[in-house]
Amino acid sequence: VDSELRDRWLDLVQRRVAGANMRSGAVRLAVAEWLARDGQCLVTVPQIVDGLRDRRLGSQASVYRVVEQLFSLGLLRRVAGGDGIARYEIADPQHHHHHVVDEATGDVVAFTDRELEAAIADAARRLGFELVAHDVILRGERLRVPAATRAQDQARV
Amino acid sequence: VDSELRDRWLDLVQRRVAGANMRSGAVRLAVAEWLARDGQCLVTVPQIVDGLRDRRLGSQASVYRVVEQLFSLGLLRRVAGGDGIARYEIADPQHHHHHVVDEATGDVVAFTDRELEAAIADAARRLGFELVAHDVILRGERLRVPAATRAQDQARV
DNA sequence: TTATATGCAAAAGCTTTGCATGGGT
DNA sequence: ACCCATGCAAAGCTTTTGCATATAA
């Protein structure tokens, strides 16, 4: 858990919620806190509901509503896993990251890569699009001896 | 509709199905033919079911089963649309393509880009993964005057 | 004949919605 | 007071599964 990111994101949530004439609410706060801690990479709404079950708050309906609100405010990224279930993660304005899925184990590794970002920006420019978001998912199998790892940031999730 | 791709893919389906000790079936044939024509870019299973409704064949269950079979045989790509609904398109062994979604209109444009492919291959190598698949979705808004379009292949879908 | 393919119907899981209640400002 | 936030329950939609029947080989 990246505690710096967590705190930065919670601050952002507070500011954006305040700036959208929404009132503070117990469920939204609980969902935001849970996501700041456990939603740094690809969680489903049912997982959030489970995570809040012990607190005796956060009905299914409210959690879906809160997640939709946070997404609309640009505070969450929604990346579909390919299995027909929507997955969310907190959106960090300072860092993009993408995902590589180990087909053998199902493990998800998050990574950032400057060259990939540049290639995406170039492609969008060539296509005549102003880019507002982009998702990349790689699928493969982990090699025994990785080539020299130059990706800037790499973390098992 | 790319009729060359359509025929090439239908041939491939026939060969792979034959090579997997599966028997020929009316629904699988109808689904494959529909996909070869209308599934060159991102369709959902309910759309396939609708498309076959007039033929009086292709129950929901059978279509889901056939699509899963084709996917398992590597004949379909499954790309999540971000909304929690699985989308499929025929997998062409000769060409990858990716998608850019116009956030303003919802239009999907398919494109291929050699530099992007190279950047993805590089990133996978650095991460120590042998790549078996990759999905890229860009989201943005179309500019009035596109910069010189250098993407190799570009088609509205 | 035998395993696969299909249809029907029900069930399971994710997501949304209507309505009444609770709570922030 | 007003109106947003929440819970509950029901409904909607996508997807899976059980079981009986039909069909290819």
Distance A58 CA to D19 C1' (A): 39
Q: What is the pLDDT of residues B32-88, one digit of tens each?
A: 999 999 999 999 999 999 999 888 788 999 999 999 999 999 999 998 766 778 999
Q: Structure tokens of A101?
A: 């899925």
Most confident of A36-45, B78-87, B100-109: A36-45
Closest-lying nucleotide for A65 based on CA to C1' = C16
Distance A49 CA to D20 C1' (A): 39
User: Which residue is the nearest neighbor of C14, CA to C1'?
Assistant: A85
Q: For residue B89, give the H/E element and its range.
A: strand B86-90
Please tell me whether the overall predicted TM-score, pTM, comes out greater than 0.75 for this model.
yes
Cα–Cα distance for residue pair B40/B38, rounded to 1 Å? 6
- Shortest distance between the Cα of A39 and any Cα of chain B, in A, equals 17
Whether B67 CB is under 7 Å from strand C: no
Specify the 3-state DSSP secondary structure of A48. helix
* pLDDT at B105 > cutoff 90: no
Reported as a pLDDT band with limits 50, 70 and 90, residue A149 is low
Reported as a pLDDT band with limits 50, 70 and 90, residue A157 is very low
pLDDT for the residue numbered A84: 76
Cβ separation A84–B82 shorter than 8 A: no
